[in-house]
Chain A
Amino acid sequence: MKDSLTIHHKDTLELNPDLSIPDPHQDTYSKTILGFWMYLMTDCLVFASLFCTYAILHRETFGGPSSRELFDLTTAFIETMILLFSSVTCGFGMLAALKDEKRKVLFWLAISFLLGASFIFIELREFSEFVHAGHDWTKSAFLSAFFALVGTHGLHVSFGLLWLAVMMGQIHYAGITVDTFRRLSVFSLFWHFLDLIWIFIFTFVYLMGVI
């Protein structure tokens, strides 16, 4: 395919020399990746602010339940594994994209999507349990900080799922091109980043909250 990005090499990405990329000086791929890293840093700082806030507020239970009484480590562990695996499958998807294997890419992306969706499902179930037991975010600063921090991560994952669906659509219709590969790389950075943030949440919110 004329727009196909790669030549079939097993372990390196080599640009197809016949590609008529507009203005080869523009360096779009590396600029975009670096730019997205910068954006991820800003997102990281948003989470850092939420973490900081959680650290300050997590003891303010105002007579309600504390983290020790509330959190179920099993659920959190399952969520962690799900997200970890979805990162792995996303990685497999990227490897397949490097090899220009469109069907495999779609397969692995679909698995990542299912895993991500089940993460959201489990998290929503955890939240609704808390809410039905009367421990909603209006009850104390601790609960507010918890729902905001974990919920914001969940919102990011949900947005990621939407993005993933769009990417799957793009790859289905256009295949692996310069543009879809670049966007997929950016998406996978986002997805791995969310996994990283979740590790922090699991450690500092759930694990340390239960000790």
Chain B
Amino acid sequence: MFGKLTLEALKHEESQNSAVLSMLFCGLILIGLITYLKRWKWLWHEWITTVDPKRIGIMYIVVVLIMFFKGFGDAIMMRLQQALAVDGPGFLSAGHFQEVFSAHGTTMIFFVAMGVVFALLNLIVPLQIGARDVAFPFLNALSFWLFAAGAMLTLISLAVGKFSTSGWLAYPPLSGLEYSPNEGVDYWIWMVQISGVGSTLSGVNFLITILKMRCPGMTFMKMPIFVWSALCSMILVIFAFPILTATLYMLTLDRYLGMHFFTVAAGGNYMMYVNLIWAWGHPEVYILILPIFGVFSEIVSTFSEKRLFGYVSMVWALILIAFYSFVVWVHHFFTMGASPHVNAFFGIMTMVIAIPTGVKLFNWLFTKYRGRVHFTSPMLWFFAFVLNFTIAGMTGVLLSSPPVDFQVHNSLFLIAHFHGMVIGGFLFGFFAAFTYWFPKFTGFHLDEKLNRYAFWFWMIGFLLAFMPLYMLGFMGATRRLDHYQASTGWHPLFVIVFIGALIILCGALVQFVGLFWSIWIRKRNWDYSGGDPWNGRTLEWSIPSPPPIYNFAVIPTVDQLDPLWAEKQRGLPKNEIVYEDIHLPRNTPMGFYIGIFSLIFGFAMVWLIWWLALAGFAGILICVIIRLSGKDAHDHISANEVQKIEESYRTGKQTAL
């Protein structure tokens, strides 16, 4: 009746029990708050059924923040364990520790980093290309709800049953049925697979949006560089995610139907899994970082009051990085015994990617050269990015040389490298983007002083938490160890690393509290500039903050890069504006319903509750059929209404979020 699910699944270790209880507690508080404020209808009409990418982007951010909290909690637990477990067991059992680090990586990559990418794309791309929406608004909403379903499955896996203990990529044979018979790997498969479908759909969506919905005059070489970075990232999504889908599919077949793709026996080839998963995995990390490069290009340019240096070169750098990301995947497993020809080739290809990346760094620096640089907190994050990402890039080149990699592969040196990339690069870029575009969607600024405190905490905490890891790698410390001997000499460094993690925690708490504090005191930081608080250069700053639902009352026409800046320089007189009727897609609950059914389906598949899985799947099919029958519903805003809304902005009667 309930497949493999029994009450045993609810029994956990002490530390996990308290995590589950606090999660439930938070959930109940949230539900209570919404009920108390009588906001259920508002939530349904304005958020859950929305197809507006601005709203969807904000929902992505909400899920990202929740999942970041969970992933960071995992990290603190890991480092605490490693600071304690010298010649002894620490406070986590080995199995639990392995669940924790597997969850940490999975959460951070799939539900924080990918969420951030799609949040940024939803919020910024339509605005920057002068469009009112994305190409497929319903698909966009659906992608978000699939993402949310995957995230929910992650949280459920904390409370019901065990999670995977085979790392964030679940290499077989360890992740196969023989060595991981329990539900852990199945949780991992379904949460990644479901959110992966959402990612693929978003890839198609944003690609078509950028290709077909740019405003008149915006040729490719007049697109904002962030849009270029989004374009390259989405091309990578389209090429890479299907490989992930297929590979997880094959692992699923192995585990559910007893097939032999990746088993040891019967001719299976688990090394092929490693190849396939990294053929996805390497483009994946570029999918994450390219939009962040775009973010920094926008921020450095705006806050240097100067156009991005070497725009054409930057575009080519993006394209080259995207292309090369497909020919380097073997560098993740030089030690798997490939011939020196193969290893050396992939090593050299990996080094080649460092060239366009370095080019970007220099172009950013020379954007600042002879500019007027304002050190707002986004620029502080850029500063931290340059210092930290450069170190990580340097160690990346070290790792790309196979003989060197033989000594540091899978050690904490590797962990330090990629966290330098993900935190020093990606996360700092997200923080910069968050601060930079926050006023656009809310109408007020984040508290700048708290931003600066957060910056210093993160900067110092990051260095303390990750620089010693390079040394630990040189001391022979492998990753994912739940205990070790004092004779290795690693203990003092693990203590320092844990302290660094605590300092980062302070930074994160400052940001978290800072967010709510900024909302509380928003009147003090109100944006009175009419939507352009930073003296921006691109189209998103030409509309009010927060933007009206249709973004642009009149679709703009552009004739050069940085069109808003050009317009401000020219000091154009305002022509007579001719308003048109605007048609926008109507809200629909179908995306949410399909998300719910996917969650049910995923959960049922994990626990082998076949009737429930069938019901979930049928639910998805029925919703899809309903959605794809009947007419495409649209909402209609007449030209008069548009004129009234626009004029209310001019007279300052805009409403706050």
Q: How far is the CB of A137 from chain B (nearest CB, A)?
A: 5
Q: Contact between B238 and A35 (Cβ–Cβ < 8 Å)?
A: no
Chain A neighbourhood of B583, CB < 8 A? 22-23, 26
Whether a CB of chain B sits under 8 angstroms from the CB of A97 is no
Given contacts A38-B204, A42-B200, A170-B629, contact A138 B259 (CB under 8 A): yes
Interface size, chain A (Cβ < 8 Å): 48
- Please, what's the 1-or-0 string for B223-258, where 1 marks a CB less than 8 Å from any CB in chain A? 000000000000000110111011101100110011
The reply to whether the CB of A204 lies closer than 8 angstroms to some CB of chain B is no
Asked, given contacts A26-B583, A42-B242, A49-B247, whether A34 binds B257 with beta carbons under 8 Å apart, the answer is no
Name the residue in B205, B263, B582, B629 with the highest tally of chain A Cβ atoms < 10 Å from its Cβ: B629
Contact code string A75-117 (vs B, CB < 8 Å = 1, else 0): 0000000000000000000000000000000000000000000
Determine whether the beta carbon of A35 is less than 8 Å from that of B261: no
CA gap between A93 and B219 in the complex, in Å = 38
Smallest CB-CB separation from B139: which chain A residue? Answer: A35
CB pair A141 B208 closer than 8 Å? no
Given A31-B212, A144-B253, A46 contacting B267 (CB threshold 8 A): no
* Contacting residues, chain B, for A142 (C-beta < 8 A): 267
Residue of B nearest to A139 (CB): B266
A144 touches B260 (CB 8 A): yes
| Mask: chain A, 117-156; 1 = CB below 8 Å from B; 0 = not | 0000000000000000000011111111101100010000
Asked whether, in the complex, the Cβ of A45 is within 8 Å of the Cβ of B239, the reply is yes
Q: Are A28 and B632 in contact (CB under 8 A)?
A: yes
Beta-carbon contact of B239 and A61 below 8 Å: no
Q: Is B272 an interface residue (CB 8 A)?
A: yes
CB closest residue in chain A, given B208: A35
CB atoms of A60 and B267 under 8 A apart: yes
Shortest CB–CB separation between residue B278 and chain A, in angstroms?
13
B341 at the interface (CB under 8 A from A): no
- Given known A-B contacts A31-B135, A179-B632, A140 and B260 have beta carbons under 8 A apart: yes
Q: A53 touches which one: B200, B261, B263 (CB < 8 A)?
A: B261
Q: Cβ of B492 < 8 Å from any Cβ of A?
A: no
In the complex, are the beta carbons of B629 and A147 less than 8 A apart? Answer: no
A45 touches B242 (CB 8 A): yes
B124 within 8 A of partner (CB)? no
Distance of A47 from chain B, by nearest CB (Å):
8
Q: Do A43 and B258 form a contact, CB below 8 Å, given A22-B583, A62-B267?
A: no
Tell whether, in the assembled complex, residue A46 and residue B266 are in contact, meaning their CB atoms are under 8 Å apart: no
Q: Find residues 113-148 in chain B having any chain A CB closer than 8 Å to their own CB.
A: 135-136
Residues of chain B in range 197-224 having any CB-CB distance to chain A below 8 Å: 200-201, 203-205, 207-208, 211-213
Docked-complex contact B261 and A144, CB < 8 angstroms: yes
Measured between beta carbons, the chain B residues less than 8 angstroms from A138 are 257-260, 266
Counting CB contacts under 8 A, is B631 at the interface?
yes
**Contact indicator per residue, chain A 7-43, by CB within 8 Å of chain B (1) or not (0):** 0000000000000001101111011101100110111
> B629: nearest residue on chain A (CB-CB)?
A170
Is A53's CB under 8 angstroms from B238's CB? Answer: no
A6 and B461 alpha carbons, distance in the complex (Å): 66
Q: B628: CB under 8 A from chain A? A: yes
CB distance from B196 to the nearest CB of A (A): 11
Q: Kindly state the separation between the CA atoms of A61 and B268 in the bound complex, as whole angstroms.
A: 10
Are A35 and B204 within 8 A (Cβ)? yes
- For B, the interface residue count at a CB cutoff of 8 angstroms equals 50
Known A145-B261, A148-B250, A183-B628; contact A35-B205, beta-carbon cutoff 8 A: yes
Chain A residues, Cβ within 8 Å of B628 = 166, 183
Tell me, yes or no, whether A56 is within 8 Å of chain B by CB: yes
Residues of A near B241 (CB, < 8 A) are 42
The residue that B211 contacts in the complex, of A34, A141, A183, with Cβ under 8 A, is A34
Most central of B207, B263, B266, B631 by chain A CB within 10 Å? B266
Interface 1/0s, chain B 426-447, versus A by CB < 8 A?
Answer: 0000000000000000000000
B contact residues around A189 at 8 Å (CB) = none
Any A CB within 8 A of the CB of B625 = yes
Instruction: Compute how far the CA of A39 lies from the CA of B621 in the bound complex, rounded to whole angstroms.
Output: 18
- Contact assessment for A35 and B272 in the assembled complex, using a CB-CB cutoff below 8 Å: no
A196 within 8 A of B: no
Q: Is the CB of A137 within 8 A of B250?
A: no
A207 at the interface (CB under 8 A from B): no
Q: In the complex, what distance in Å separates the CA atom of A34 from the CA atom of B556?
A: 24
Q: Are A60 and B631 in contact (CB under 8 A)?
A: no
Q: Is the CB of B253 within 8 A of A141?
A: no
List the B side residues contacting A44 at CB < 8 Å. Answer: 242
B504-518 residues with Cβ-Cβ distance < 8 A to A are none
Q: How far is the CA of A38 from the CA of B247 in the complex (A)?
A: 20
- Tell me how far the C-beta of A53 lies from the nearest C-beta in chain B, rounded to whole angstroms: 6
Interchain CB contact under 8 A, A62 and B247? no
List chain A residues, Cβ under 8 A from B207.
Answer: 38
In this assembly, does B354 line the interface, its C-beta being within 8 Å of a C-beta of chain A?
A: no
Given contacts A31-B135, A166-B629, contact A42 B204 (CB under 8 A): yes
A30: contacting residue among B203, B212, B631, B634, CB under 8 A: B212
A137 with B257: in contact, given A35-B135, A38-B204, A42-B204 (CB under 8 Å)?
Answer: yes
A197 proximity list for chain B (CB < 8 A): none
B294 → A minimal CB distance (Å)? 21
Chain B residues, CB < 8 A from A162: 621
Q: Of A43, A45, A140, which one neighbours B243 at CB under 8 angstroms?
A: A45
Assuming the contacts A144-B260, A148-B250, asked whether A57 and B269 have C-beta atoms less than 8 A apart, the reply is yes
Question: Is residue B276 within 8 Å, beta carbon to beta carbon, of the partner chain?
Answer: yes
- Docked pose: A162 CA to B620 CA in angstroms: 14
Q: Which of B200, B259, B263, B632 sits near A148, CB closer than 8 Å? A: B259
Chain B residues closer than 8 Å to A42, beta-carbon distance: 200, 203-204, 238, 241-242, 245
Residue numbers in B under 8 Å from A57 (CB-CB): 261, 267-269, 272
Supposing A148-B253, A148-B259 touch, asked if A49 and B272 sit within 8 A by C-beta, the answer is no
Find chain B residues with CB under 8 A from A141 CB.
260-261, 263, 266-269
Contacts A34-B208, A34-B211, A60-B267; A41 near B238 (Cβ below 8 A): yes
* CB < 8 Å neighbour of B212 from A34, A60, A137: A34
Contacting residues, chain A, for B629 (C-beta < 8 A)? 166, 169-170
Complexed CA–CA distance, A43 and B555 (Å):
35
Contacts of A41 in B (CB 8 A): 238
Residues on B close to A: CB < 8 A? 135-136, 200-201, 203-205, 207-208, 211-213, 238-239, 241-243, 245-247, 249-250, 253-254, 257-261, 263, 265-269, 272, 276, 555, 581-583, 621, 625, 628-632, 634, 636
Using A39-B204, A61-B267, A140-B266 as known contacts, list a sample of 20 further A-B pairs with CB atoms less than 8 Å apart, ordered by residue number in A. Answer: A31-B213, A38-B208, A42-B200, A42-B241, A46-B246, A48-B242, A56-B272, A60-B269, A137-B259, A138-B259, A140-B267, A141-B261, A144-B259, A144-B260, A144-B261, A144-B266, A147-B259, A148-B261, A152-B249, A179-B632
Q: What 5 pairs between A and B have smallest CB-CB spacing?
A: A60-B267, A141-B267, A49-B246, A45-B242, A144-B259
Q: 25 A-B Cβ contacts within 8 A? A: A22-B632, A31-B208, A34-B211, A35-B204, A38-B204, A38-B208, A39-B201, A42-B238, A43-B242, A44-B242, A45-B239, A46-B243, A46-B245, A49-B242, A49-B247, A52-B276, A53-B246, A57-B268, A60-B266, A140-B267, A141-B261, A144-B261, A169-B629, A179-B630, A183-B628
